[in-house]
Amino acid sequence: MSAARIVFLMYHELELAGRKLCQSEPGYVRYILPLETFREQMSWLKESGWRGLNVSEALRYPPEPSVCITFDDGCETDLIAAAPVLREFGFNATFYLTAGFLGTPGYLNASQVRDLDAEGFQIGCHSMTHPYLSDLREPDLKRETVDAKLLIEAILGHAIEHFSCPGGRYDPRTLQMARQAGFVTVANSRFYSNSVRTSPYELGRVAVLRGLTLERFSKICRGGGLWKQRLQHRVRHTAQRLLGNAGYDHLRAIMLGKKQ
Ligand SMILES: [Zn+2]
């Protein structure tokens, strides 16, 4: 019926003046936006008549111009920085939490998770310990999906439905385990927009990277230029397959380090 395509945006920790980031390596910081940049993006969306939706809302694929807003990792800035901005503009979002990081320095604690939930934002799961799921044997995979889901649900006191893959890595086993765990959707970080025809277990997401101009951001929201990023992804994916995840990360760290 509706031919709506929706881009799912992927955010991480936000940078606040005087607050130390959870991690400092270049490969991590690349995904971190200063709070002001995030606010500018949300402000642009609002002024341009866009809506900001959580995953459940986005899956209804409304015909009005909309983006889905998601955050990975469960950093404390979800509550203290992102949530107030989202509220200001009347947007919702899905926050995927790494269950095993909760309560550690820089990440949300249980009571902050409940606050985020009570404010009406959607809580999802981003594994237990943030490994590449495609590298894991079955018992570990179970812990990262089933146990992580139960832990977050125990904090919230209600069920959660949405999962996102750490580092975007997944394979058919991963998706099957997530389904068995009771997740209704799985989001990755592949560069495509989603529509009613997209499998809910392979929702594409576009990473919003540090240094992105507002012009590029608006283009991404319209789904423009994603083919170029898909092509880059394919090159990276081939390198990952050839080198293995560990070898690839090593190479990437060297290359990003040199760029600094
Ligand atoms: Zn992550």
Q: What is the pLDDT of residue 245?
A: 81
Give the alpha-carbon dihedral of 49, 54, 55, 59, to 10 degrees: -40
Instruction: Grade residue 3 by pLDDT with cuts at 50, 70 and 90.
Output: low
Convert the pLDDT of each residue in 20-48 to its tens digit: 999 999 999 999 999 999 999 999 999 99
2 CA distance to ligand 1 centroid (A)?
Answer: 32
110 CA distance to ligand 1 centroid (A)?
Answer: 19
Closest CA to 162 of 252, 34, 69: 69
SS3 186: strand
Q: What is the pLDDT of residue 96?
A: 98
Label residues 125-143 b or e (16+ Cβ within 10 Å = b): bbbbebbbbbebeeeebbb
Convert the pLDDT of each residue in 237-251 to its tens digit: 777 777 888 888 887
241 CA distance to ligand 1 centroid (A)?
Answer: 20
Q: What is the pLDDT of residue 1?
A: 42
Judge whether 76 and 112 are in contact, CB under 8 Å.
Answer: yes
Instruction: Grade residue 2 by pLDDT with cuts at 50, 70 and 90.
Output: very low
206 CA distance to ligand 1 centroid (A)?
Answer: 13
Q: How far is it, in rounded angstroms, from Cα 66 to Cα 64? A: 6
SS3 56: helix
Q: How far is it, in rounded angstroms, from Cα 144 to Cα 149? A: 8
Convert the pLDDT of each residue in 157-169 to its tens digit: 999 999 999 998 8
177 CA distance to ligand 1 centroid (A)?
Answer: 18
252 CA distance to ligand 1 centroid (A)?
Answer: 16
**Size of the chain in residues:** 260
User: What is the residue-averaged pLDDT of the chain?
Assistant: 93
26 CA distance to ligand 1 centroid (A)?
Answer: 15
Q: How far is it, in rounded angstroms, from Cα 11 to Cα 36? A: 14
Convert the pLDDT of each residue in 196-236 to its tens digit: 999 999 999 999 999 999 999 999 999 876 777 777 777 77
Convert the pLDDT of each residue in 109-156 to its tens digit: 999 999 999 999 999 999 999 999 999 999 999 999 999 999 999 999
Query: Which pair of structure tokens corresponds to residue 48?
Result: 């341009």
Q: What is the pLDDT of residue 255?
A: 73
Q: What is the pLDDT of residue 233?
A: 72
Q: What is the pLDDT of residue 124?
A: 98
Q: Where are the alpha helices (DSSP H) in the chain?
A: 26-29, 35-47, 55-58, 77, 83-89, 110-118, 138-142, 148-156, 172-181, 214-221, 226-259
Residue in the structure block whose two tokens are 């509550």 = 79
Q: What is the pLDDT of residue 236?
A: 76
Residues 67-79, mean pLDDT to the nearest whole number: 98
